[in-house]
Amino acid sequence: MKVKVEKYPGLSIGNNGHLCFSGADCVRLAKQFGTPLYVISEDVFRDTCRAQRAAFEKHCPDAHISFSTKALTALALMRIAVQEGLGLDASSPGELFGALKAGCKPENTILHGNFKKAEDLEFALGKKVGRIVVDSFEEIEELDAVARRMKVRARVQVRVNPGVEAHTFELLKVGMLDSKFGLPLQNGDALEAVRRILKKKNLDFMGVHYHIGSQILDPSPFRIAAERAMEFLLALRREAGATVRELNIGGGLPVRYDSRHPMPTPEQFARQVCGTVKKIAKDNGLDMPRIILEPGRSVAGPAGITLYTVGPVKHIPGIRDYVTVDGGLSDNVRPGLYGATYDGLLANKAASAARMKPFRVCGRHCETDTLFQSLHLPDPAYGDILAVLSTGAYNYSMSSNYNKFPRPAMVAVSKGKARLIMERETYADLYRKDLTEGKG
């Protein structure tokens, strides 16, 4: 049950027996910056960006990779993604604001969302967003009206629902028919949406978008979704005379959360998608659409770990043993939200040969707040440093101030050196927007 550290990029065990991440001693990081602490390996983040670009550009040379900022909305990391040649996509105006602040060119941004209000669309068009992905008939009308008032032409992709079942967490399945996202292919809604867009003078139809879910370990659903998307492109040519310039396949590539599990490579996903699209396009005389990929978790996830300080250790004879850490629900809601699991180990005892025993690891919030139902550890003690692996995606983005705990600091490490990229919130920050007397 011991974690295979070598399976995780950037992780190693130093000569002193401490866990290291990108060459930085995790115990020293905890002492220098405090805990809980988000630690991001700039080296792993950059390497993953490059690996995904290389895999898709090998099979589709003009493929475009756009980092999904919802996975990790940190300016320093978004800036690195831009430096690595990626665009940035946003699921809200707030994320779009951050993408532009991080230095992304407006034409390389994409705005998503299943309900974008008029003011959201005005903001996006005012910032010259690269693409707006429309998700409903109502949004087509709203966007056209906003674009007409602003005297601009909005470049749009239509989000379709391919009806593909992906084997992942229930709340991460977004490509099956029963979903709030997208316009279904099966009932003709997607085709009707494109027809309506083509009639709008202020909308420029660029292409089709779909996303079947996250943390998908088997590449075959990507092939099936690509096949259905290409069938739709053929129908668009046949029924509406439409040319599709872009095919946005969303994200969904997985990350390692368990060192025992095999992991598919970006190359396997690229080969399935690009091979399918190219063959169907060639066989049917279609122009090859530009492939756009929007990875989030698969870029940010392996680049992050979280460090905690161990508090009380409780032994309940005949029941179980508990370890409490100084974080939990407010900095990582995923285990409580949908049963997400991770690997973890004691950073100061990474090389320990002591017998491993199962412990339930809990946080310090006023809820059940369980990080690990059962984690095997070697004699955990007050003051130890627990490292939770692959926490780069969605831990910070979904964090909160529940129980009025300040959000943790975040540091980036590279080649043994660390730099602070997000300050720890203070107690004053927690009440910064409160108005004791109120406003009339």
Write the DSSP string, 209-272: E---BSS---SHHHHHHHHHHHHHHHHHHHHH-----EEE--------S-TTS----HHHHHHH
pLDDT band per the 50, 70, 90 thresholds, residue 175: very low
> Which of the following is catalytic: 20, 26, 49, 366?
366
Q: Are 390 and 307 in contact (CB under 8 A)?
A: no
- Weakest mean pLDDT among 141-150, 199-208, 223-232, 382-391: 223-232
* 366 counts as catalytic: yes
Question: Do 148 and 12 sit in the same domain of this protein?
Answer: no
Average pLDDT, the chain: 94
The pLDDT score that the predictor gives to residue 216 is 87
Cβ-in-10-Å burial (0-12, 13-18, 19+) of 431 comes to exposed
Note whether residue 130 is domain-resident.
yes
Count of the separate structural domains present in the chain: 2
Domain boundary (295, 327, 362) is at 295
Structure tokens at 309: 């300080």
Note whether residue 92 is domain-resident.
no
Note whether residue 201 is domain-resident.
yes
> Is the pLDDT score of 171 beyond 50?
no
pLDDT band per the 50, 70, 90 thresholds, residue 172: very low
Question: Do 273 and 342 sit in the same domain of this protein?
Answer: no
> Is the pLDDT score of 213 beyond 90?
no
The verdict on pTM exceeding 0.75 is: yes
Note whether residue 176 is domain-resident.
yes
Write the CATH number for 422.
2.40.37.10
The pLDDT score that the predictor gives to residue 164 is 78
Domain boundary (279, 295, 311) is at 295
pLDDT digits (tens, 9 = 90+) for 374-393: 999 999 999 999 999 999 99
Note whether residue 60 is domain-resident.
no
Note whether residue 369 is domain-resident.
yes
Question: Do 317 and 284 sit in the same domain of this protein?
Answer: no
Question: Do 333 and 353 sit in the same domain of this protein?
Answer: yes
Question: Do 306 and 397 sit in the same domain of this protein?
Answer: yes
> Is the pLDDT score of 3 beyond 90?
yes
Question: Do 221 and 306 sit in the same domain of this protein?
Answer: no
The pLDDT score that the predictor gives to residue 170 is 43
Question: Do 283 and 331 sit in the same domain of this protein?
Answer: no
Question: Do 135 and 33 sit in the same domain of this protein?
Answer: no
Note whether residue 254 is domain-resident.
yes
Note whether residue 98 is domain-resident.
no
Structure tokens at 67: 């980092």
Question: Do 285 and 307 sit in the same domain of this protein?
Answer: no
pLDDT band per the 50, 70, 90 thresholds, residue 176: low
> Is the pLDDT score of 188 beyond 60?
yes
Q: Are 211 and 251 in contact (CB under 8 A)?
A: yes
Question: Do 328 and 277 sit in the same domain of this protein?
Answer: no
pLDDT digits (tens, 9 = 90+) for 295-342: 999 999 999 999 999 999 999 999 999 999 999 999 999 999 989 999
Measured in degrees and rounded to the nearest 5, phi and psi for residue 140 equal -60, -45
The pLDDT score that the predictor gives to residue 165 is 63
Indicate the angle between helix axes 189-198 and 137-150, nearest 10 degrees: 20
Question: Do 250 and 315 sit in the same domain of this protein?
Answer: no
Question: Do 220 and 187 sit in the same domain of this protein?
Answer: yes
From CA 95, how far away is CA 72, in angstroms rounded? 10
pLDDT band per the 50, 70, 90 thresholds, residue 169: very low
Domain boundary (232, 265, 295) is at 295
pLDDT digits (tens, 9 = 90+) for 81-120: 999 999 999 999 999 999 999 999 999 999 999 999 999 9
Write the CATH number for 272.
3.20.20.10
Which residues form the domain of 217?
Answer: 112-295
